[in-house]
Amino acid sequence: MAQITEFLRSTGKSLVISHISTYTQPSSTEYDQILRSILLQLVRSDTDLIAYIHDEFILRKKAVTAQAIERIILEAVRAISNNPATTRYVHILLDGLDECEKGKQLKIVTLLERIASCAFESPTTVCKVLISCRMLAPTSQRLRQKHAVSLSTEKVAVERSIGFYASQRLSKLRSRWSQLRITDSELKELELRLAAKADGMFLWAKLVLNYLTTNMFLNKGEVIGAVDVLPRELSDFYGRILTQLLANFDNRSVTRLQSILRWIAFAKRSLRRAELRSALAFACEESEVHVQGLAPNYIFDLCAPLIEERPDSTFAFVHISVKEFLQSPEGNHILDETGAVHDQGLATASCLLSGYQVFQPDYSENMRFSRVLAGFHGLHLYASEYWAEYILSVAVSDRGIDNGSAFFLRSQELASALDTPASSHERIIDSNLLDGRLRDIEQYPELWNTVVTTLAAKTTKSLIVPEEKDKHSITSLSSLYSNYQRTVKALLQLTQFPGISTRDLEIFKREVRSTALTCRIVSCPLAGIYFESEAQREKHELNHAPRIMCDVSGCGHPALSSITI
């Protein structure tokens, strides 16, 4: 799909709109985000359309709903060719439709059909849509009515590609194969057999190669025979891997494996290695919130057949079908979303409560630096972003809040520690999004106040509080996060620290640099992305500033922005 997109753009004759939906970036699978992505690419080079959108949503103050964005997209497609003598081509490419919510997949297909129909109404606009996905219900019947290209009909080309992929993977372990006296001709034969048995399925080939990479072999017969021994069906393959893992684990290890898989499956966003190690340490029901040890790195290696670490150090399943298998009866329902939400909510609450004590101005700086350098607070950015969301998710679930659960008790403890009533301006929150959920926690005043204060800090009503050089007393999660960031920035300036090797200090800097300078508007889609300098962050944050409109009728002066309103 990437090559097709690049080719179309290289011609310069087409407006190319592309979007990739992947479970590793949950927001990319949301219908609203897909709409925004399409609209942004559609109008980016058209100043007239940008002015029209500004008039609709800024000047006229219309609500930015999904229906409103759909309407703007359709109107933009109709108006995209303003020259009757020139035909304008629009290509829309959507990759990963099957990774979106099942209830939204048909809605996305319907929208793309409407976009193509709008272009058909114009004699000078041609719109083509390409969707890449697995043919799964509920979209398969609808999509089969369209022109379809199936990789199953391109077996020769796909088999050749899989063989090339296998060759690349196996060649990286050439020294290992030479120790087993496997010759080049035998490796070539293994590549061809693997490609043939994969039958067009790259994922199966990848899993077999992962198996060959992560297991111990004593002779070449075990390696050569692996392709014939391993099952062809994915569910059988996953079942074999899972059985292999569980057979070597005691009950405690099974619980820890389950916790790792839950975080990867249900976290609000993909976690980096440092974050996941901290999360696993905090996800316990012990009364002491100050964890004294992190999950060791080797435990992730034990899960390697099912999960992988990406170049940005985030963890993901080797394929979305792993998650589907682990939620099925064949996978023993290893993944339980209700339990995952409780455990992850508990971890975020514990991390914040620990941080509330550690990042107070009167806490020993040496001990604070030691704890942060050790990685104990690696989950802090994630916890700051999503703790309130976990509370509200549980509140509106079928079971509701269990006021005897460890998650609730730890969250109450955090709210009591902050103990800051929400001020009047902090109560003004988008009622369409939050009021319904807030009502479910009104019977817990301290918790309600803390959640409201946290949500208010995510809005742009009161945008940026100027940073002070010194740490100040913590009265909210916002001030707690500010103190955390100050600590991280101070540590990034160090060249040495007692008890920490130079190598470990550099590893720490590499892992946490992304939490030092992030957008302070937590609702920002880029809130988890770091900036290289204060100037870059401030320039970005100005985009969130409220716009001041002149109230004189007919005034054409552009809106002014202010970060002090």
Same domain, residue pair 64 and 161: no
Q: Is residue 37 part of a domain?
A: yes
| Mean of per-residue pLDDT scores for the chain | 82
Q: Is residue 6 part of a domain?
A: yes
Lowest-pLDDT range, 82-91, 258-267, 387-396, 493-502?
A: 82-91
pLDDT class of 263 with cuts at 50, 70, 90: very high
Same domain, residue pair 215 and 97: no
Q: State the pLDDT at residue 386.
A: 93
Give Cα 399 distance to the centre of its chain. Answer: 26
Q: Is residue 487 part of a domain?
A: no
Q: State the pLDDT at residue 47.
A: 82
Same domain, residue pair 14 and 65: yes
CA angle 183, 186, 187 (to 5 degrees): 90
Q: Is residue 267 part of a domain?
A: no
pLDDT digits (tens, 9 = 90+) for 440-491: 888 898 898 888 888 877 664 444 444 545 556 888 888 898 899 889 989 9
DSSP state at residue 59: I
Q: State the pLDDT at residue 470.
A: 54
Q: State the pLDDT at residue 24.
A: 73
Q: Tell whether the model's pLDDT for residue 387 goes beyond 90.
A: yes
Domain termination site, one of 149, 168, 191: 149
Buried-state track 242-270, b at ≥16 Cβ within 10 A, e below 16: beebeeeeeeeeeebbbbbbbbbbbbbbb
Same domain, residue pair 109 and 19: yes
Range of the structural domain that residue 16 is part of = 2-149
Same domain, residue pair 145 and 6: yes
Per the DSSP assignment, residues forming a β-bridge with 128 are: 91
Domain termination site, one of 95, 123, 149: 149
Q: Is residue 237 part of a domain?
A: no
Q: Tell whether the model's pLDDT for residue 122 goes beyond 90.
A: no
Same domain, residue pair 103 and 171: no
Counted domains in the chain: 2
pLDDT class of 94 with cuts at 50, 70, 90: very high
- Comparing CA positions, the residue from 143, 148, 203, 145 lying closest to residue 324 is 203
Same domain, residue pair 176 and 109: no
Give the pTM: 0.67
Q: State the pLDDT at residue 423.
A: 45
- Rg of the chain on CA atoms, in Å: 27
- Comparing CA positions, the residue from 98, 97, 82, 93 lying closest to residue 127 is 93
Q: State the pLDDT at residue 135.
A: 65
CATH classification at residue 17: 3.40.50
pLDDT class of 523 with cuts at 50, 70, 90: low
Same domain, residue pair 121 and 26: yes
Same domain, residue pair 32 and 68: yes
pLDDT digits (tens, 9 = 90+) for 326-340: 988 888 778 888 889
Q: State the pLDDT at residue 427.
A: 46
- Comparing CA positions, the residue from 26, 102, 37 lying closest to residue 73 is 37
pLDDT average, residue stretch 532-557: 67
Q: Is residue 129 part of a domain?
A: yes
Domain termination site, one of 121, 149, 177: 149
> What's the token pair of residue 406?
């460890």
Same domain, residue pair 161 and 129: no
pLDDT average, residue stretch 253-265: 93
Higher pLDDT, 148 or 172: 172
Q: Is residue 551 part of a domain?
A: no
| CB-CB contact of 12 with 3 (8 Å) | no
Higher pLDDT, 60 or 163: 163
pLDDT class of 561 with cuts at 50, 70, 90: low
For the ranges 89-93, 226-230, 422-426, 428-432, the maximum mean pLDDT occurs at 89-93
Crossing angle of helices 477-492 and 445-457, rounded to 10°: 50
Same domain, residue pair 57 and 134: yes
Q: Is residue 253 part of a domain?
A: no
pLDDT average, residue stretch 132-143: 70
Same domain, residue pair 119 and 163: no
pLDDT digits (tens, 9 = 90+) for 198-245: 877 788 888 888 888 888 888 888 888 888 776 667 788 788 888 888
